[in-house]
Amino acid sequence: MTDLPILSLMLLVPLVAGIVCLVVSSQTARTVALAATLIDFALGIVLWMKFDVGGAQWQFQESHALFAGFAWKLGIDGIALTLIMLSVFLMPICILASQSIEKRVGEYMAAFLLMEVLMIGVFAAQDLYLFYIFFEAGLIPMYLIIGIWGGAERIYASYKFFLYTLLGSIVMLIAMIWMAQQAGTTDIPTLMQYDFPVDAQKLLWLAFFASFAVKMPMWPVHTWLPDAHVQAPTAGSVILAGVLLKMGGYGFIRFSLPMFPEASAHYAWLIFWLSMIAVVVTSLIALVQHDMKKLIAYSSVAHMAIVTIGLFSFNVQGLEGSMVVMLSHGLVSGALFLCVGVIYDRLHTREIDRYGGLAINMPKYALLFMLFTMASIGLPGTSGFVGEFLSLSGIYQVSSWVAFIATTGIILGAAYMLYLYRRVVFGEQKNADAAAMPDLSVREWLMLGPIAAAVLWMGVYPESFLAPMRNDIAALDARLARAKPESDAKLTMGAPKPHEETAHEGGAH
Amino acid sequence: MDWMQSLRLAAPEELLSISGLVLLLASAWGQTAKDARAVNWLAVLVLAGAAAMVAPTLCQGIGGEAALAFGGLFSADAFAAFAKLLIFAAAGASLLVAPAFFERHGGYRAEFPVLVLFAVLGMCLMVSSTNLLTLYVGLELNSLAAYVLAAFLKADERSAEAGLKYFVLGALASGILLFGMSLTYGFTGTVSYAGIAAVTNAGLSKGALFGLTFMLAGLAFKISAVPFHMWTPDVYEGAPTPVTTFFASAPKVAALALTIRVTIEAFGGQTAAWQQIVGFAALASIVVGALGAIGQKNIKRLLAYSSINNVGFMLVGLAAASSEGVAAMLVYLAIYVPMTIGGFVAVLMLRDESGHQLEAISDLAGLSSTRPLIALGLGSVMFSMAGIPFFFGFWGKFVVFQAAVAAGLLPLALIAALGSVIGAFYYLKIVKVMYFDEPAGKATGHSDMVHDWLLAVSALFISPLGWLLTKGLGALAAIAAGVLFAAT
């Protein structure tokens, strides 16, 4: 496409800046980190501009045989493009949100920049092992972010996060080694077209499932998420919810579905059951939380369940819907964690009961928080609606019962989000210190404003985001067609009514 | 002419033995600390010289008949050269860190580098052996020097205890090994590997199987594989830290290379007979090494268990019984040596204000804020040992798994991989103590330049930059392993 290796450049900029951050003073580190993430965002925009919608499936490809056994091979399709955009869009906001971090600022910024490198790497890698390396290496900076800058229970949370995800992905590594030896290549686009024997597919699928289900996270292996979220610093939560969880969904859409279509169909009901349980159970759990971050964390699990349901509906609506839910959830849950962070910075508590009546002293905050609450519920006009509607209509074509249960998630989602909003923003001002909190500062506007704009953009004109991935979704759908599960609707064509009768009735009016 | 050829092939060993003897004589006269330091530097130079002599053998991939010396008792082939290079590097690093340590513990003595040279000579014989007798001579030469090294701090009770324990258990292991060798000789009628292979290729008699089993048990002692690992934590903890650095690196390489030689060259036709034994030892080492390390309070004991754990992963490669598997083991070894040395050098750098060594894990608390560079180095070593990618340690585990999967040992690879998650737990604990805990403020003493440099070099090697070496390292390991398989 272009001579400039833009993907490598996007990896290099934060990497270099991260190393610089380690050696400079804390104020400089903040500036360097912000500048690097903004440069990466600018590069991301260039990437999006230059991306040829409807052109070749894989664009911006780079390949260098640097290592033994695998290659430095990068390239993106529309699906990866949107997720990379999400990452580079959220990163500068995370850096801005880290103003309240005061200890070891240089190392903190370095960890975040390294995180950015690894996230972009995961979405851009076109070599199986390269993907694994980026995927797995992300554990280190996140472990440090939670463990060093987290809350009171940070050590337990960081261990749980690390060991859970490591256990999941190590099984995937063995499966990858087997696949590469079977297919004789580590090239992901080639593997996406390779047909593994069905029996092997089933085992491989389970191995990949072990990794992605933990990352996603799916019920019942989601328990690391609330702990990690609650203990992580605000920006850590944003990255965790905004991008890291998407790696699970990306894994399903990039590996499990195209590489093992038959196995995916075989295990679709496993996914459906786990997702249905997740939607109902975690929504109910969210309803009784006293901790704001925990509530949003559980809502993430419920939203991710909608994603998996959509992915395994094996049709275009479901797949597109899942992608939009992922993007939308990345923005909205990130924004909700930022909203929590805004008031946490002022009062240093996440107890819902300590707040109340914020609409009186923080009207602008209340407005933005309202927008993101509505987007999380899936109100038409916001990004949440587009994704959830598409996912649910996708699954409706496969099973109306699954669709029915999954839809209760929307209702329960409205219940817990509105209940949260009412307790925090409306009602009396119970506590004097909460009532005295100042409204949003310029920095906080700069964080929340762009996300609000993006949420509305995606809600009103989702075509901008759907267009780049349309061909890729269609290709995936074609690949999955042979394994498509049968619909439970069993539509039977009625006998056509006699022509004369309609004409007669028409005439009667 | 034949003798000249043999002497030429064994030139590095001759250099080592002659310089060892000369330096021993010199040390009888030079008893001051300055002399000891000079002898130390000379020994390092000798090792570098020997490495320079060995390197061409590896690059040219010499093997088979061309490498055989002394009527087939000794083989200076590329495989031995690979192992020797690692041994020289490990021994050199241990020598570099030794003087500073011993000077703080009652003075450095010139005997130390001399003993190391003799131990290295023994190891060279071990990895070059093509005959059970060479094997035993090399092993004992190495062991005798090692027993003395472990007890080098005469006044220190723990050091003396370590030396005694090492001696008693080592002698027992040698006995078991000898018993296995005699059985093997009795049932095959020969002591040369090629001869044993020729007999056993036709079929393994019960007696020879017993011989093989006892030999593997004896070797398992030397590589500290489970269930013959019990001596490791005690000896590693009690021995002076530079000696532990040496024990954890060089003899491991030698004993593992020796195990490869015995299994592949002598019993290569009967892989089914030892594959299960090696596979069991591998998994048991991984699991016991990981679980045993969790409760440790002393960093040296923890590193001892970690070395047991690492040996387990290397044995997974041997269990594959393929050229690829042996190459994977060699790559693993090449990554393991700098990793271990980095770890122990970092431990050596931890001193309190008055210069005393710190060994308790709780003393590491908050190291990242008091001594950020040591913390960074030790942290990299820990992540690397845990096999988390981006650090080079992952590559070692990866190639080993790859070889095991290619050999059809999927369950073995899977269980080993899951075992690495248990291992990750205690490596993370060290990182946690260094980075998450409040500073204990104990490690405040200054470290020497040599330590700084060694830690920096090993940290750079295991950092992501190491990935660029994968091609060269893989090619060299493939040459070395190929030589071994071409011979059988």
Summarize the confidence of residues A242-271 as an average pLDDT.
89
Mean pLDDT over each residue of chain B, to the nearest integer: 89
Question: Which three-class secondary structure string do you get for A153-191?
Answer: CHHHHHHHHHHHHHHHHHHHHHHHHHHHHHHCCCEHHHH
pLDDT, position A507: 47
**Distances from the Cα of B449 to the Cαs of A411, B42, B241, B345, in angstroms?**
66, 19, 17, 12
Q: Give contacts of B390 with chain A, Cβ < 8 Å.
A: 118, 133, 136-137, 140
Q: Each residue of B231-288: pLDDT tens digit?
A: 999 999 989 999 999 999 999 999 999 999 999 988 888 888 889 899 999 999 999 9
Distance CA B57, CA B67 (A): 9
Q: Give contacts of A174 with chain B, Cβ < 8 Å.
A: 401, 405, 410, 413-414, 417
Is any Cβ of chain A less than 8 angstroms from the Cβ of B418? yes
Q: Give contacts of B369 with chain A, Cβ < 8 Å.
A: 104
Q: Each residue of A383-409: pLDDT tens digit?
A: 889 888 999 998 888 888 888 988 888
Query: Residue A342 contacts by C-beta under 8 Å, 6 or more apart in sequence?
Result: A365, A440, A444, A448
φ/ψ of A60, rounded to 5, equals: 55, 40
pLDDT at residue A170 greater than cutoff 50: yes
Q: Give contacts of A130 with chain B, Cβ < 8 Å.
A: none
Range of weakest confidence among A284-288, A354-358, B326-330: A354-358
Query: Are A295 and A289 a contacting pair, CB within 8 Å?
Result: yes
pLDDT, position A184: 86
pLDDT, position A479: 85
| Sign, CA torsion B87/B91/B215/B287 | negative
Summarize the confidence of residues A468-485 as an average pLDDT.
84
pLDDT, position A89: 92
Closest partner residue to B470 (CB to CB) among A67, A166, A174 is: A67
Domain extent listing, chain B: 2-487
Summarize the confidence of residues A170-198 as an average pLDDT.
88
Distance CA B74, CA B261 (A): 12
Summarize the confidence of residues B312-326 as an average pLDDT.
91
pLDDT, position A1: 45
Write down the residue that tokens 């905004």 correspond to: A242
pLDDT, position B487: 57
Summarize the confidence of residues B387-415 as an average pLDDT.
89
pLDDT, position A500: 60
Closest partner residue to B388 (CB to CB) among A104, A107, A140 is: A140
Q: Which two tokens stand for residue A169?
A: 């992905």
Distance CA A84, CA A79 (A): 9
- The three-state secondary structure class of A63 is strand
Q: Do B435 and A167 touch (CB under 8 A)?
A: no
**Distances from the Cα of B373 to the Cαs of A23, A120, A394, B298, B386, in angstroms?**
11, 28, 54, 21, 20
Region of B189 on the Ramachandran plot (φ > 0 left; ψ -120 to 50 alpha; else beta): left
Q: Give contacts of B435 with chain A, Cβ < 8 Å.
A: 144, 147-148
pLDDT, position A508: 46
Q: Do A137 and B418 touch (CB under 8 A)?
A: no
Summarize the confidence of residues A318-322 as an average pLDDT.
90
Q: Each residue of B460-476: pLDDT tens digit?
A: 888 888 888 888 888 88
Indicate the pLDDT class of residue A504, thresholds 50, 70 and 90. low
Is any Cβ of chain B less than 8 angstroms from the Cβ of A222? no
Highest mean pLDDT among A204-218, A229-243, B120-134, B340-354: B120-134
> What letters, b where the CB count within 10 A reaches 16 and e where it falls short, cover B175-214?
ebbbbbbebbbebbebbbbbbbbebbeeebeeebbbbbbb
Is any Cβ of chain B less than 8 angstroms from the Cβ of A414? no
Summarize the confidence of residues B423-441 as an average pLDDT.
84
Is any Cβ of chain B less than 8 angstroms from the Cβ of A132? yes
Write down the residue that tokens 């030790």 correspond to: B378
pLDDT, position A379: 87
Q: Each residue of A274-302: pLDDT tens digit?
A: 999 999 999 999 889 888 888 888 998 99
Q: Do A140 and B383 touch (CB under 8 A)?
A: yes
> Which DSSP category does B466 fall into?
G
Strand partners of residue B351: B357
What is the per-residue DSSP string for A377-394?
A: HT-TTSHHHHHHHHHHHH
Indicate the pLDDT class of residue B138, thresholds 50, 70 and 90. very high
CA-nearest residue of chain B to A118? B390
Distance CA A152, CA B185 (A): 65
Closest partner residue to A137 (CB to CB) among B388, B398, B435 is: B388
Summarize the confidence of residues A46-52 as an average pLDDT.
87
Q: Do A173 and B435 touch (CB under 8 A)?
A: no
Summarize the confidence of residues B201-229 as an average pLDDT.
89
Is any Cβ of chain B less than 8 angstroms from the Cβ of A171? yes
Q: Do B418 and A170 touch (CB under 8 A)?
A: yes
Q: Give contacts of B468 with chain A, Cβ < 8 Å.
A: 66-67
Helices B393-406, B323-348: axis angle to 10 degrees equals 160
pLDDT, position A168: 84
Query: Are B307 and B250 a contacting pair, CB within 8 Å?
Result: no
Distance CA A131, CA A255 (A): 11
| Sign, CA torsion A222/A228/A234/A239 | negative
Neighbours of A176 (CB within 10 A): 26
Q: Each residue of A70-127: pLDDT tens digit?
A: 888 888 888 899 999 999 999 999 888 888 778 888 888 888 899 899 999 999 998 9
Q: Each residue of A128-151: pLDDT tens digit?
A: 889 998 998 888 888 888 888 877
What is the per-residue DSSP string for B48-106?
A: HHHHHHHHHHHHHT--GGGGEETTTTEE--HHHHHHHHHHHHHHHHHHHHHHHHHHTTT
> Which DSSP category does A352 fall into?
G
Q: Do B390 and A67 touch (CB under 8 A)?
A: no
Distance CA B398, CA B394 (A): 6
Is any Cβ of chain B less than 8 angstroms from the Cβ of A131? no
Probe site for chain A from B373, B401, B428, B468 (most A CB atoms < 10 A): B428
Half-sphere exposure at residue B355, Cβ-oriented, CA atoms within 13 angstroms = 8
Q: Which of residues 487-506 of A touch B (CB under 8 A)?
A: none
Domain extent listing, chain A: 287-484
Q: Give contacts of A132 with chain B, Cβ < 8 Å.
A: 389
Summarize the confidence of residues A356-375 as an average pLDDT.
87
Indicate the pLDDT class of residue B204, thresholds 50, 70 and 90. confident
Q: Which of residues 442-481 of B touch A (CB under 8 A)?
A: 467-468, 470-471, 473-475
Q: Which two tokens stand for residue B32?
A: 């001051």
Q: Each residue of B21-68: pLDDT tens digit?
A: 999 998 888 778 888 888 999 999 999 999 999 998 888 888 878 888
Distance CA A114, CA A93 (A): 16
pLDDT, position A146: 84
